[in-house]
Structure 1
């Protein structure tokens, strides 16, 4: 059993509040509850150590407890300096989980917490953005031999994994959970769509209706952000580099134009690309006075903060999670949550019912990896479709919804080329 001394958290006295938060999300995660019951009976992780790097808030904490219920020795850290909730970290320590996480650590300390997590020598990992995988393949290759495989949560991490795989340097198998239907169709679209605006609205306390929102990137997250902005009464402009996604945004009823032009019109900007420096100096130079910049991509590199600092003659924090940059001509531009994920750094992240599906996929995908890692080999694979369907079926059943089934004659028809 984990002892308090093995963990690094801010304050163990915060644990009672953390337990209340975890209890709340547990009541709204029926799919994960069902999987927990199965894990308690089957113990798929008996004798296994699992390292988790995810945004350390209540829903993540409950995933860790479900994996623990499956017999695992769990060690967990955050995946972003501003998304760790210290009361949740403290509660997990009380529950026998090793925790290396604090809210807003210095960059070197944040990295050290990741390394300490890996120094517990896990057999399996769950990563979010690829930090654990990168450290294992770069600085701490001495820890590679223990790793059986793992799962990746988000687009940014999968991009890094695919690069490793293409170069022939990937040293263990990974499952791309982000690319599962029950992840991106719901988590990326409905989860990001709602939680981004939760974070922006609670932080700014300003109206969205009647404003112009520029959504930079129209992947599944961008679709959700644009949809919710429209629902809040905003005029929405989408910018894209992919012509197919640009047409889709147009057919969905949004204006589409280059960011150089959109920058002149936007009141709110939300970046959701997974790329670097998509909003930079030439865009900032033409923005309106009072423009609000936010990011919902994994890393704080989508808004070029160096450019913003260079353009500013004065800078100050005007509200929690709002930095004001006064430019030479008197215009003021505002950056939310240091350019980090606004939905987690300035909010509580996705709704529990949404993360119920995503974390159910994580749990059963990790069990699949533990069973099949030898035959998978050093490659990135998709979540097996039958696992995707299982999560969807469990979710429907939790909602009291039943659906039709194909008749034997229909199955035969679909499998035949003669009729």
Structure 2
């Protein structure tokens, strides 16, 4: 059961106790500063928050959010609350919670938070159930775990749910599979597929934060090393770009011919993992698939190869097999574990194979999450207004919302762009005029 955290010392939450399960409410002051600092570079979300405070588009809506509990997420949650939502928040990854941020959300904003950094798998799912105990009408997922639990274990709650949103590629893949099989019970907006999300968050956010996580965990030099990026989707593109910028010799592995060709054209060496595993000093998986690095790769790696993951789930590295192959294990420093194989070679795994940018670092910079979470806020508002018109399937973020977020971001950056003239609009919409 969740703990009842007493907030009677803080008048701004009306002296009411809040159901929560966090590490330490006394960390709230530190978290308060982090939340404010992140909010300073989230101008789009701040504008949405100001409008939400006036219009209350989410008034009385119960919302269960399963997201990385970071300072950026806190700013989203605060905006949703300003809009009138009753938010319950749990973590979408056992290692991604910032405990001080969780404390501030509970103490300063009376949000029911169920998240502790380093929680075990049982606690992780118990926290999801705690969030669902609020009988949500909206779900907000990063990986579709809330949707999965609702459809498999808490089906009695589905009658309350009017819609949801999904933050990441992995979750969207799961949800589209559910919709294709006809088992999805409510409409969901794929926030990940918005241009202002995946073109920026996935590429620039993942690229920078993953490198940040690897360097914080290891304090190793990337320049002059061979850095293997598994997967060249938008996250892989960003990671490869940043690793090359740090001076690494970047190798890309891929399964899609067109994407592999693009990586070649971008100037990277492309080869199968069976070849790349022999030469890599650093490895990072960003595919969203299982067993990308597995036994035959471990056995061929260099002594001391460093292996990490920045895909949503900890399934891309076959850790179960690595555990069986190892004759010895040792934690060398926080988030750095060494596995010694029977042939004497040592494989280093970072962050338990979980999202390294959140396990050992702080996730994406706030300025890029500004657009992602603006999409989440506006998609939630859209779902409340339009859910009766929607079928039980996965929808794209409406184009006009995507464009509005881009316009607001440009305005905040002081960037101006051209507008089409009436003649140009007419020309683009006609077929009569040729060369």
Q: Report the TM-score when normalising by structure 2.
A: 0.95
Mapped partners of 1:37, 1:241: distance in 2: 45
Instruction: Map Cα deviations across residues 59-91 of structure 1 (whole Å, 9 max, x no partner).
Output: 001100000000111111110000111111111
1:92 match: 105
- 2:74 aligns with 61
Asked whether the 8 Å contact 2:18–2:112 carries over to 1, the reply is: no
- What secondary structure is seen at the aligned counterpart in 1 of 2:279? coil
Query: Take 1:37 and 1:169, find their aligned partners in 2: how far apart are those partners?
Result: 38
Q: Post-superposition shift, 1:329?
A: 1.7
Deviations along 1:261-282, one digit per CA (max 9) or x if unpaired, are 0000100001000001110000
Tell me by how many angstroms 1:311 deviates. 1.4
- Report the Cα distance in structure 1 between the residues aligned to 2:335 and 2:217, rounded to whole angstroms: 7
Deviation >6 Å, runs of 4+:
none
CA contact (8 A) 1:4 1:93 kept: no
What is the distance in 1 between the residues matched to 2:22 and 2:245?
A: 39
Residue 266 of structure 1 is matched in structure 2 by 280
Deviations 1:274-304 (A, max 9, x none): 0011100000010001100000000001000
Post-superposition offset of 1:4:
3.4
Post-superposition offset of 1:28: 1.1
SS in 2 for 1:6: strand
How far, CA to CA, are the matches of 2:127 and 2:86 in structure 1?
18
Matched residue, 1:26? 39
Q: Where do residues 287-302 of structure 1 align in structure 2 (5 Å cutoff)?
A: 287-302=301-316
> Which ranges of structure 2 fall in alignment gaps of 5 or more residues?
1-12
Q: What secondary structure, in the 3-state scheme, does the structure 1 residue paired with 2:105 have?
A: helix
1:105 Cα deviation from its structure 2 partner: 1.4
Within 1, Cα distance between the matches of 2:179 and 2:430? Answer: 37
**Secondary structure at the counterpart of residue 95 of structure 2:** coil
Report the counterpart of residue 8 of structure 2 in structure 1.
Answer: none
- Alignment map for 1:133-148 (pairs within 5 Å): 133-148=147-162
* CA–CA distance in structure 2, aligned partners of residues 122 and 137 of structure 1: 13
Q: Identify unmatched segments of 5+ residues in structure 1.
A: none
Offset of 1:122 from its aligned partner? Answer: 1.0
Choose from 199, 214, 226 the match for 2:213: 199
Whole-Å separation in 2 of the counterparts to 1:6 and 1:302: 35
CA distance in 1, matches of 2:47, 2:18: 33
Give the structure 1 partner of residue 62 of structure 2. 49
Aligned ranges for residues 219-258 of structure 1 at < 5 Å?
219-258=233-272
Q: Are the equivalent residues in 2 in contact too, given 1:31–1:356 (CA < 8 A)?
A: yes
CA displacement at 1:5 relative to structure 2: 4.4
Q: Secondary structure at the match of 1:300?
A: coil
Aligned with 1:263: secondary structure? helix
State the TM-score, normalized to the length of structure 1: 0.99
Residue 327 of structure 1 and its aligned partner are, at CA, apart by 1.1
1:124, 1:147 within 8 Å by CA — same for their partners in 2? yes
Which residue of 2 is the match for residue 414 of structure 1? 428
Match of 1:345 in 2: 359
Secondary structure at 1:282 match in 2: helix
Report the CA distance between 1:232 and its aligned residue.
0.4
Q: Does the alignment pair 1:278 with 2:292?
A: yes
- 2: distance between equivalents of 1:106 and 1:319? 20
SS at match of 1:249: helix
Deviation per residue, 1:15-65 (Å, 9 max, x gap): 111111001011111111111111111110011111111000100011000
Output the CA distance in 2 between the equivalents of 1:125 and 1:31. Answer: 22
RMSD across aligned C-alpha pairs, in angstroms? 0.9
Q: Secondary structure at the match of 1:197?
A: helix
C-alpha distance in structure 2 between counterparts of 1:4 and 1:269, whole Å: 46
**Are the equivalent residues in 1 in contact too, given 2:18–2:110 (CA < 8 A)?**
no
- Between the aligned partners of 2:319 and 2:132, the Cα distance in structure 1 is 30
Residue correspondence of structure 1 range 6-405 to structure 2 within 5 A: 6-94=19-107, 95-405=109-419
